[in-house]
Amino acid sequence: MFAVGFGRMSCRICQASTEQVLDLGESPPANWLKSAPDEVQESFPLVLEWCSNCGNVQLRDALEPEVLYRDYVYVTPRSSMLQAHYDYLLSYLLADGYLSSESFVLEPGSNIGYFLEHIRNRVGRVLGVDPAERIAALANESGVPTISDFFNRSVAQQITREHGLADVVVARHCLAHNPSPHEMLDAASLALKDDGFLVIENAYVLNTIENTEFDQIYHEHMFYYSIRSMNTLLGLHGMRLVDVLMSLVHGGSIIFIAQKGLDGPTRSTVHAYEPRESQYLNREAFAAFASRTREVKDRLRELVDKLTGEGKSISTYGATAKGNTLLNYVGINASQIPFCVDSTTMKHGKILPGSNIEVISEDDARASPPDYYLLTAWNYQDEIVRKVRDSGNYRSRFIVPIPFVQIV
């Protein structure tokens, strides 16, 4: 059984009724890369919905975590942008007393462990948890202790028995990746000291809506959090927000800092964005978002048709989940764009789901550069452009699809 709650129209946070915001059609899960073009894959709906009661924005239809993550291929990239973000987050947490040199830091969804690797010399101990067995193995090989499992109540209890309670639990871009965030918050509360801090980082729904980042919508991203919806979710688990900060990483992210207990001090940052959330998280704003999304689809479709009709070659850059949403929604496939360039070795030779575009290495791309790169990893635009130019390629131009279609 792949599906959880298909066709439901109720909020997974507060159980109130929801209403549809955007329908992107059906698509295979974005990280289900194929070994051959003729490999058959199942597609599932990508329908975004909104709860006016608590402000939650979520996928209507969710997939089982076991299906999505046991054979996961996404590996956190080595990126100067991410390194700068790690520095920013670490400095903030240390300066404001959320972390110390003695802290035991636990990270569910730690992937290959780059964040824990970055901070481990500044804290006491680190431990990662990730369900993708191959990726967890790579983290352990690199010296970042990582448990390969889903972060749930039983795993949290095991961790506390074997490692003690955590001073800080850091859930970076994973609380949105589970059909039941209640299960993960329950586990985090069990694993955390009473005076400890829970740090949650995810794409911020305001950035998604305001910047027309519809490609952030894929089967792994089951929730799109706001301060309002996060306050509701935490409150149901006896926790409260104490601080909020913003980051430009991944197209605009929000970092929530929470503690146990419903009573206690909170910073002004928790309330600073409430007027903007009220302005941009409503029916009118969602309708405008859906309209702009359709406009991007039409304009990108027209541009690709025009360029390929003129005999121009195009490759995508970035075998990303967001890129697969973009390609499948717009209707672009290997007949027009045969190759996708990516730096992740385990993706080379694979085939993108739906579009059937082959993933090649950056070395292969340098040997035969296209006329245009469609930046499916547009959030790394500056790094990609610099990398291409530094390789001696001054020929290729770049198509940036979000927030609107442009050539740079």
Which tens digits make up the pLDDT trace of 129-140? 998 888 999 999
User: Is residue 217 a contact partner of residue 48, using CB atoms and an 8 Å limit?
Assistant: yes
Write the CB contacts of 343 (distance below 8 Å, at least 6 apart in sequence).
Answer: 77, 361, 362
- Type of residue at 118: H
The residue count of the chain comes to 408
Angle in degrees, CA 304, 310, 311, rounded to 5: 90
Mean pLDDT lowest for which of 66-75, 194-203, 336-345, 366-375?
66-75
pLDDT of residue 364: 95
pLDDT of 220 above 80: yes
pLDDT band at 51 (very low <50, low <70, confident <90, very high): very high
The two structure tokens encoding residue 397 = 């131009």
| DSSP string covering 91-160 | HHHHHTTS--TT-EEEEET-TT-HHHHHHTTTSSEEEEE-S-HHHHHHHHHTT--EE-S--SHHHHHHHH
pLDDT of residue 324: 97
pTM for the complete prediction? 0.90
- Choose among 387, 385, 386: nearest CA to 397: 385
pLDDT of residue 225: 96
Mean pLDDT of the chain: 93
Compute the distance between CA of residue 91 and CA of residue 111 in angstroms, rounded to an integer: 22
pLDDT of residue 273: 87
- H/E stretch holding 211 reads none
HSE (side-chain half, CA atoms, 13 Å) at 55: 19
Mean pLDDT lowest for which of 73-77, 82-86, 180-184?
73-77
pLDDT band at 73 (very low <50, low <70, confident <90, very high): low
Average pLDDT over residues 58-69: 86
pLDDT band at 1 (very low <50, low <70, confident <90, very high): very low
- H/E stretch holding 85 reads helix 80-95
**pLDDT over 90, % of the chain:** 83
- The label of the residue with tokens 């910073």 reads 267
- Type of residue at 128: G
- Determine the straight-line distance between the first and last CA of the chain, rounded to whole angstroms: 45
pLDDT of residue 248: 79
- Choose among 9, 19, 130: nearest CA to 65: 130
Mean pLDDT lowest for which of 54-68, 186-200, 304-318?
54-68
pLDDT of 8 above 80: no
pLDDT of 3 above 70: no
pLDDT of residue 81: 80
pLDDT of 101 above 80: yes
- Choose among 187, 199, 256: nearest CA to 226: 256
Which residues face 200 on adjacent strands? Answer: 171, 256
